[in-house]
Amino acid sequence: MKRALFPGSFDPLTLGHVDVINRALPLFDELVIAIGINANKKYMFSLEQRIEFIQNTFKDEPKIKVDSYQGLTVDFCKKIEANFILRGLRNPTDFEFEKTITQVNRTLSDIETVFLLTSTETSFISSSIVREVIEFKGDYSKMVPASVRL
């Protein structure tokens, strides 16, 4: 079985995430979307809300599972028997950051990382931008799936 892990904070889930997930589905038998818990990070949305956003967005997709984890991503991959880590790339800065993480992961395991470029329509969207728009009461509806619109 080809199982991939798509890790992230998903604070909140954006249309960029949805784009990458939907385009990855044909590549894998199962896709585990997992929220990494970082005790040093302050989140806008609770873990429960973020899980609910993902579950509601993909409620009709049987190939998707939703989970959360603490610790190293590669250790969680081993726990759930994922052979691949899926990552989305918006720009060259993302690539440089993700390349470093991938190289570290490759020294720790034999799990492959698969990169998908975000579509042109969603490449400007990031969770941090969405949080800022929400904080300043702007219209973020074109950047997130319906499940995230409060």
Nearest CA-CA partner of 1 in 79, 66, 84: 84
The secondary structure of 115-130 as a DSSP string is: EEEPPTTTTT--HHHH
Distance CA(149)–CA(141), nearest Å, equals 6
Per annotation, catalytic residue among 63, 90, 99, 131: 90
Per annotation, catalytic residue among 9, 50, 87, 127: 127
Say how many Å lie between the first and final Cα of the chain, rounded.
37
Q: Is 3 a catalytic residue?
A: no
Q: Is 90 a catalytic residue?
A: yes
Distance CA(113)–CA(124), nearest Å, equals 22
Per annotation, catalytic residue among 9, 17, 50, 126: 17
The residues annotated with a catalytic role in the active site are: 17, 41, 90, 127
